[in-house]
Amino acid sequence: MRVEFLGIPRERAGVAELELDVNTLGDLLVDLDRRFPAIGGLVEAGRMRRTFLASLNGDAFVSDLRTRLSARDCVLILSADAGG
Amino acid sequence: MAVRPSGYHGCYLRIDVTTGSVERVPLDERVLRQFIGGIGLGAWLLLEESRSGPGATDPAAPIAFVFSPLVGSPLTTSAKFAVVSRSPLTDRLNDSLASSGFAIAGKRCGCDAIVIVGRAAALSTLVIDDGRVRLESADDLRGATCADTEAAVKARLGPGFEVASIGPAGERGVRYATISHDGRHAGRGGSGTVLGGKNIKAIAVRGTARCEWAQPRELVEYSKSLSQKSFGPATAKYRELGTASNLLTFNRLGVLPTRNFQSGTFEAAPGISAEELRKTHTRTRASCVACTIGCEHIYASNEKNGVRLEYETLFALGPLCGVGDADAVLRAAKLCDDTGIDTISAGGTIAFAMECVERGLLDEPWLTFGSGDALLRAIRLIASREGIGDLLAEGSRRAAQRIGHDSIAFAPQVKGMEIPGYEPRALQTMALGFAVGGRGADHNRSGAYEVDFSEKVDRKNVTIDAVRYAIETEDKAALMDSLVVCKFLRGVFQDFHAEAAGMLRMVTGWDVTADELRETARRIVATKRQFNLLAGWTREEDTLPARFLQKALDGDAAAVLSRERLDALVSEYHRQRGW
């Protein structure tokens, strides 16, 4: 599956996207926290940190760490505040 | 004499610039508690002063500069003021906010608001020096930019003054002219047009009056804690990239309005993104007075003093006009700032004209999507009201009415106010927020996009459930804009209403609760509606242009918003509001 970073997560990760092989959103976020500590922690106290959002394939936003991911999925990681 | 509550002076200045008369009008504590300050107190003042009778640029129409109990306190982001009047663009109530030293100096004049009526005999600067009021000639400033006007008035009057000014666009009656202070603008809805209609080029304020706080020690401690939290992850986006970072995110999600809302993606977005600009342009950061966030990102360009760039400006002058040349966008932003024009309405109206040219409805072959030169030329013409600029200075709704050929179907506006950078078909809670917005399409008075960017709704297929969320965001915005604190603090609060009640208690001494503030917010929204009803509002205004209700967004078949669905959402909104 593919991960795309946008906004602050991209700036801090230093990459725009990468391919990973994980089964759930929780596995993905834990893996990303390990690879990119500069992001500042996507998981906090067993939940997705509220300052970030995850979008599944650019459509639905998801935060349940048990959300199943398939090899064809793309998860976008972005800042939670969309204010302009 | 009534005892004034802490945090307030308990009165407003009413200045008639026709006669030169000045009146200090008492404000009842009950009114202050019911409307707080900022846009809330401003809506009440406008209703009291005019009952919506006079047209926006009628000399008798009032314009109110409104402070708040938090202004002058150590609370971060609290140096804000509201400008409230009837809008020359929408003909409905308009409230716009700006920040920085003018708020503090204005409140030190010993009043909670300054209401101006009448029309000066000649172009003037209104000087309020510790409560003493006079008019000075501003004839030598005719045609001067906002920044030059501010600098000249400050140099002339000496230390301690803070100045708000209009640019050439406000003098010439461009319907979406701004009032500028310290490089920031009370931007939307034509506040600068109203001030220009009163022959007031600038307002200079200086004072020494101070308000006491009910619980100063607690307030200072809480302020320190809030400031500390404002350095945290909830505001990282604003500090590190600025609001302009929305551009690539919105482009990826297909919600970036492009070429007059004909598409939700822009192929040249990466080249004008905040991420790219920081590589190609020297950037500095700045903040409003009394703010710890520092959201302003100022990019060096060929223009002097650099260019402050926000997402809304970037979207409106970039993708919306199909312009992918970063330097052209920066120059256009600077030109709008200098001439005192709202960038969203400028971009929206120019993009509309570009589509009219494309469809053969306007004979201005130079005005084409993607041309940075055309964008700059159009802004200059608007500011001077020359050539096609005279039509475009009226905004897209009036321009469409004159052009005809059903061009109103794709004029990007609600109630005459051009739509901000959120594609309504793919952000349908925001679509509702735009449709019912009291001052027209507005992302500042409705934060409904937050709902679309969450798990609460399916943003391309929202149901009636979305209505209560839209109302919640509108009410929350009304409260933040009345306290006033910056919306960029939103993510910092764990329980906003409880913390807002705490702030107000510490400043005023009132035993205010979170529930009382929820009721206050509803009252403020209802008061604005009351003004609009008197101004002629009808249910038919609460809608979107036909473009958004006729077909799916290009390239995204799922992004469909039928007229029936929007009507159902609007009806439910009215029902839940009790209207």
Tell me the chain A residues in contact with residue B241 when contact means C-beta distances shorter than 8 Å: 7-8, 11
Tell me the chain A residues in contact with residue B283 when contact means C-beta distances shorter than 8 Å: none
Statement to judge: residues B553 and B507 lie in one domain: yes
**Listed residues B418, B452, B479: the one ending a domain:** B418
In a domain? residue B213 = no
Statement to judge: residues B380 and B508 lie in one domain: no
- The C-alpha atoms of residue B433 and residue B368 are separated, in whole angstroms, by 31
Statement to judge: residues B147 and B289 lie in one domain: no
- Give the pLDDT mean for B25-51: 96
The pLDDT tens digits for B374-427 are: 999 999 999 999 999 999 999 999 999 999 999 999 999 999 999 999 999 999
The pLDDT tens digits for B67-120 are: 999 999 999 999 999 999 999 999 999 999 999 999 999 999 999 999 999 999
3-state secondary structure of B38: helix
Statement to judge: residues B285 and B147 lie in one domain: no
Statement to judge: residues B241 and B182 lie in one domain: no
Q: Which residue of A has its CA nearest to B314?
A: A84
Tell me the chain B residues in contact with residue A10 when contact means C-beta distances shorter than 8 Å: 275
Q: pLDDT at position B304, please?
A: 67
Confidence of residue A1 (pLDDT cuts 50, 70, 90): very high
By Cβ distance, the residue of B237, B443, B458 closest to A81 is: B237
- Give the pLDDT mean for B554-565: 96
In a domain? residue B219 = no
- The C-alpha atoms of residue B556 and residue B575 are separated, in whole angstroms, by 32
Tell me the chain B residues in contact with residue A80 when contact means C-beta distances shorter than 8 Å: 453, 491
pLDDT at A19 over 80: yes
The pLDDT tens digits for A40-69 are: 999 999 999 999 999 999 989 999 999 999
Buried b (16+ CB within 10 A) or exposed e, B159-194: ebbbbbbbbbbbbbbbbbbbbbbbbbbbbbbbbbbb
For residue A22, give how far its alpha carbon lies from the nearest alpha carbon of chain B (Å).
Answer: 22
Question: Which amino acid type is present at position B424?
Answer: P
Q: pLDDT at position B422, please?
A: 98
For residue A62, give how far its alpha carbon lies from the nearest alpha carbon of chain B (Å).
Answer: 6
Decide if B237 and A40 are in contact by the 8 Å CB cutoff.
Answer: no
Decide if B491 and A51 are in contact by the 8 Å CB cutoff.
Answer: yes
**Listed residues B353, B384, B418: the one ending a domain:** B418
Tell me the chain B residues in contact with residue A40 when contact means C-beta distances shorter than 8 Å: 233, 236
Confidence of residue A22 (pLDDT cuts 50, 70, 90): very high
What are the structure tokens assigned to B131, written together? 């409560």
Show the beta-strand stretches assigned E in B142-270.
162-165, 179-181, 184-186, 200-206
Tell me the chain B residues in contact with residue A4 when contact means C-beta distances shorter than 8 Å: 252
- The C-alpha atoms of residue B91 and residue B415 are separated, in whole angstroms, by 8
Decide if A40 and B246 are in contact by the 8 Å CB cutoff.
Answer: no
In a domain? residue B222 = no
For residue A21, give how far its alpha carbon lies from the nearest alpha carbon of chain B (Å).
Answer: 22
For residue A32, give how far its alpha carbon lies from the nearest alpha carbon of chain B (Å).
Answer: 17
What are the structure tokens assigned to B93, written together? 């109530």
Decide if A11 and B240 are in contact by the 8 Å CB cutoff.
Answer: yes
What are the structure tokens assigned to B225, written together? 């804690």
Give yes or no for a contact between B413 and B378, defined as CB atoms under 8 angstroms apart. no
Statement to judge: residues B57 and B157 lie in one domain: yes
Statement to judge: residues B441 and B396 lie in one domain: no
Confidence of residue A84 (pLDDT cuts 50, 70, 90): confident
Between chain A and chain B, the number of residue pairs with CB atoms below 8 A apart is 81
- Give the pLDDT mean for B205-219: 97
pTM of the entire predicted model: 0.97
Q: Which residue of A has its CA nearest to B458?
A: A60
Statement to judge: residues B180 and B291 lie in one domain: no
In a domain? residue B214 = no
In a domain? residue B41 = yes
Confidence of residue B3 (pLDDT cuts 50, 70, 90): confident
Q: pLDDT at position B303, please?
A: 63
Beta bridge partners of A4: A17, A76
Q: pLDDT at position B103, please?
A: 98
Length of chain B: 579
Q: pLDDT at position B2, please?
A: 61
Confidence of residue A39 (pLDDT cuts 50, 70, 90): very high
In a domain? residue B178 = yes
Structural domains of chain A ordered from first start: 2-79 (3.10.20.30)
What are the structure tokens assigned to B499, written together? 């913390």
Statement to judge: residues B20 and B168 lie in one domain: yes
- Give the pLDDT mean for B311-333: 97
Q: Which residue of B has its CA nearest to A77?
A: B249
Statement to judge: residues B467 and B549 lie in one domain: yes
Buried b (16+ CB within 10 A) or exposed e, B526-537: ebbbbbbeebeb
Which stretches of chain B sit within 8 Å of chain A by CB? 233-234, 236-238, 240-241, 243, 245-246, 248-250, 252-254, 275, 310-312, 315, 420-421, 443, 447, 449-450, 453-455, 458, 460, 487-488, 490-491, 558
Domain with B552 in it: 428-577
Predicted-assembly ipTM surpassing the 0.85 threshold: yes
Q: Could you give the dihedral angle defined by the CA atoms of residues B418, B419, B425 and B427, in that order, rounded to the nearest 10 degrees?
A: -170
The residues near B172 (Cβ < 8 Å, ≥ 6 apart) are: B196, B383, B384, B385, B393
Q: pLDDT at position B442, please?
A: 93
Q: pLDDT at position B52, please?
A: 76
By Cβ distance, the residue of A11, A49, A82 closest to B453 is: A82
- Give the pLDDT mean for B109-137: 97
By Cβ distance, the residue of A7, A79, A84 closest to B443 is: A84
In a domain? residue B6 = no
Tell me the chain B residues in contact with residue A6 when contact means C-beta distances shorter than 8 Å: 248-249, 252
Residue B277 sits in a domain whose CATH number is 1.10.569.10
In a domain? residue B35 = yes
Tell me the chain A residues in contact with residue B243 when contact means C-beta distances shorter than 8 Å: 83-84
Residue B556 sits in a domain whose CATH number is 1.10.599.10
Statement to judge: residues B43 and B172 lie in one domain: yes
Give yes or no for a contact between B106 and B114, defined as CB atoms under 8 angstroms apart. yes
Statement to judge: residues B253 and B394 lie in one domain: yes
Residue B72 sits in a domain whose CATH number is 3.60.9.10
Crossing angle of the two packed helices B496-508 and B216-230, in degrees rounded to 10: 140
**Could you count the other beta carbons within 10 Å of the beta carbon of residue B224?**
12
**Listed residues B206, B241, B267: the one ending a domain:** B206
By Cβ distance, the residue of B234, B450, B558 closest to A82 is: B450
Domain count, chain B: 3
For residue A61, give how far its alpha carbon lies from the nearest alpha carbon of chain B (Å).
Answer: 5
